[in-house]
Structures are given as C-alpha cells and as structure tokens.
Structure 1
Amino acid sequence: MTVRAEALDEALSCVSSALGPAIGGDWTRPAGDLEWDCRYTAEHLGDTLLSYAAQVVSRPADHYVRFLAKTDADASPAELLEFVIAGGRLLAAAVRSSRPGERAYHPTGRSDPAGFAAMGCVELLLHGDDIAQGLGVAIDPPRDTCARVVARLFPEQEPIPDAWDALRWCAGRIDLPGRPRRTGWKWRGSPPGDRSIPEE
C-alpha cells in the first residue's frame, strides 16, 4: 500500500477537474470550514506542495528549506489553480526522481518520498475539497489513493468502509457514526517501522 507519484497525479487530476469549471466563481469566499478564503487556500496549497518537493530533492535532516512561495496579488483564479498544479507536478517529479530510502525533515518524523507523496495527496484532496465547498462544487477523490494515504500516514487507523470518509475523519474534517470529529490529530511522517518520530 505504498504511495507513489501516480497517486499525486490522480489527486491533481481530481482537484483540477473539480475546480477548473469554477474559475469564474468568487474565490474570495470562505473555503469550507476554514478561516481562509479560497484564494489564500489555493496559495497555501501551492506553497506547501513546492515545500514538500524542496524537502524531497534537498533532503535536509533537521529543518524545512527556507522559502515561501506566493502568487502575485492580482493572480486570477485560473492562475491560482495553475500554481497548485505546478506545485503538485513538481512534487510528483521529485518523488519519481528519488530513491525510496532517502529521507528528509518533517515535524511528524523524517519522511521518505512515499511519505511526502502521501502528505501531498492529503493537502491536495482536503484543501481542494475546502476550495470546492467554497465555490459550490464537489470533488470525488479516487478511493484507492485515499486508502493508500490513510494506510501510510495513519497506520493505526481501524478500517472505515469509504476511504474518502476515512481520510477526512483521520484529518479531523468530519465526524462519523460512533466516531466524533478528531481534534489535535497528526499523521506519521516517518516510514513504517521507523522510530524517528519526534517526542511530544
């Protein structure tokens, strides 16, 4: 159940297919339950994906590569979405060009390329969903990708029938019958069997 660059390709396709038709909408509306608007959420998403790509190719052991990627203030919704897609594609390319055993800093444990691919999928799908909600559209994520991401980042999670529900529940986005909404959650960045998880 590893997560490869192809999972990022699928998550990108899902998000771009949902948001592309909504580029004429009001991207200053709130994004889902977030305090951010859709514009800022898209900018955050692109920056995060680029940051993960930088981690994968630079492999720092104890810090993030120090930069902040921003869009121009007058960037259109189409250009914001282009920024997200560019960040996702660069992360996918970084994952494809890296060896599985390579590691880089993440606050939830030194991660391998598969871990950064999984984290990129979470960011894409959850924030893509936030933006979609703000614009009145819906995304329909690939369930196999969701299942792989949950297995990689939330390995102790008991099975939940729908993998998209499972991912959203694990990340504190929804409650489910008999499962209250999670608070204070975090994923596991380090690979299975690795003990390099930061102390609380």
Structure 2
Amino acid sequence: MTVTPGDLDAAMTSVVDGLRQASGRDWSAAPGTGELNAWRTAEHLGDCLISYAGLLIARPSTPRFVCFESVADQAAKPSELLEFITVGCGILSATLRTAAPDVRAFHPSGHADIEGFAGMGCVEALVHGEDMARGLGVTLDPPRDVCSRVLARMFPEVDADDVDPWTALLWATDRTELPGRPSRTGWQWRGAPLDDRTAG
C-alpha cells in the first residue's frame, strides 16, 4: 500500500479536472477551507506542496518549517490558481522522485519519509480540493485506489474497509459523517513511517 509520487500526480489531476469546471466563477466569493475562501485555499494548497518540497531539500537540523512562503499574484484568475497548484504538485513530485530513499524530514505529525510526504501531499490536494469544490458547486472524482493507499498510510488507525475509499478519506479528515462512527474532530495524519515505533 505504498503511496508514490505517481499517486500525488493522479490526485492533483483529479482535483484540477474537477475545479476547472468552475474556472469561470469568482473564487474569492466562494467558501474554501475554514475561514478561507476558495481563492485563498488554492493559494494555501500551492504553498503547502512547495513547502513540503522545501523541507525534503533543506532538511532543517531543528524541528521547523523552511522560512519562506509561496503566494499567488493577487490578480491571479482561477485558471492561473490551477496552474499554481499544478506547479506546486510538480515541484513536490519531482523532489520525491529524486530524493534518496532513506531521506527523512521534519513535520509536526512525525519525522516523515518519502512515502509520508507523498501521502501528505495527496491529503492536502484532495481535502483542500474538496473544500473548494463544495464552495464552487462542483464534484471531484479522485481515483479510489489512490484514496485507499493514502488512507492506509496516513490514517492507519482508521478501519473503513466497508466504505468507499474517497468517502472514508473525507470522514478521516472530518469532511463528512459516517453512520455509527464518531466524528473525527481533531484528526491528525501520521507523517512518520508506519514501522517507526517512536512516533505516535
């Protein structure tokens, strides 16, 4: 159930394909993640993906993020925001493909390996993409095999084999409810490798 850079690429392709349906709308007027509108959520997503690449390249010796922020031009149109998140995905994906297999880098969810960063990128893309899609009134249709691998790697405590993997991933990140199952408020993925006994 390894999560790969190819999974990240596939996840982002599904997000961009879905959001492109709303490229003619005003993203600054549509809800996104939390208090952010769809425009700011897209900007946040691009920054997240590029910052993960930065962590893998810089590998700070102290537990911190690399000290930069990637932002979109204030005049960026939705189509240009889709370019921004696609570029962010490409930078992270290329970094994952060229990093040494044993590379580990800081993340608050655990000192993450290549697979962990690929999984985090997938969750960022799919979950923030879903937030934007809901606000913009469009539907995402991500590859279910990717969702299954991401769920198994990033949320090993989740037992949802009887649920559609996309629905299960949305539940794991507190974006939907599942009958008979508790809310996932306060959820956190696992960045550290699954065989790392020192991680949570």
TM range, smaller chain: over 0.9
CA displacement at 1:5 relative to structure 2: 0.4
The structure-2 alpha-carbon separation of the partners of 1:133 and 1:108, relative to structure 1 and needing over 3 Å to count, comes to same
Q: 2:48 maps to what in 1? A: 48
1:27 maps to 2:21 = no
Q: Structure 2: how far apart are the matches of 1:29 and 1:179?
A: 33
**Residues 85-126 of structure 1: CA deviation (Å, up to 9, x unaligned):** 100111110111112211000001000111011000001011
CA displacement at 1:71 relative to structure 2: 0.8
CA displacement at 1:25 relative to structure 2: 0.8
The 4+ residue runs of structure 1 with deviation greater than 3 A are none
Q: 2:71 maps to what in 1? A: 70
- Decide which of 157, 172, 177 is 2:174's aligned counterpart: 172
Q: 2:123 maps to what in 1? A: 122
For the residue of structure 2 that corresponds to 1:184, the secondary structure is coil
Is the contact made by 1:30 and 1:36 (CA closer than 8 Å) also made in structure 2?
A: no
CA displacement at 1:189 relative to structure 2: 0.7
Q: Aligned residues, how many?
A: 198
Spell out the pairing of 1:1-200 with structure 2 (5 A cutoff). 1-32=1-32, 34-61=34-61, 62-160=63-161, 161-197=163-199
Q: Structure 1: how far apart are the matches of 2:167 and 2:88?
A: 25
CA displacement at 1:33 relative to structure 2: 6.3
Residue segments in structure 1 that go unaligned for 5+ positions in a row: none
Is the contact made by 2:32 and 2:39 (CA closer than 8 Å) also made in structure 1?
A: no
Q: Structure 2: how far apart are the matches of 1:68 and 1:32?
A: 19
Equivalent pairs: percent with the same residue? 50
**What letter matches 1:11 in structure 2?**
A
The structure-2 alpha-carbon separation of the partners of 1:32 and 1:40, relative to structure 1 and needing over 3 Å to count, comes to closer
The structure-2 alpha-carbon separation of the partners of 1:82 and 1:163, relative to structure 1 and needing over 3 Å to count, comes to same
Is the contact made by 2:8 and 2:93 (CA closer than 8 Å) also made in structure 1?
A: yes
Is the contact made by 2:32 and 2:41 (CA closer than 8 Å) also made in structure 1?
A: no
Q: Structure 2: how far apart are the matches of 1:46 and 1:33?
A: 14
TM norm structure 1:
0.94
**What letter matches 2:82 in structure 1?**
L
CA displacement at 1:28 relative to structure 2: 1.5
The structure-2 alpha-carbon separation of the partners of 1:172 and 1:135, relative to structure 1 and needing over 3 Å to count, comes to same
**Residues 35-71 of structure 1: CA deviation (Å, up to 9, x unaligned):** 2111000000000000011112222242111111111
Q: Which moved more, 1:56-65 or 1:94-103?
A: 56-65
Q: Structure 2: how far apart are the matches of 1:66 and 1:109?
A: 19
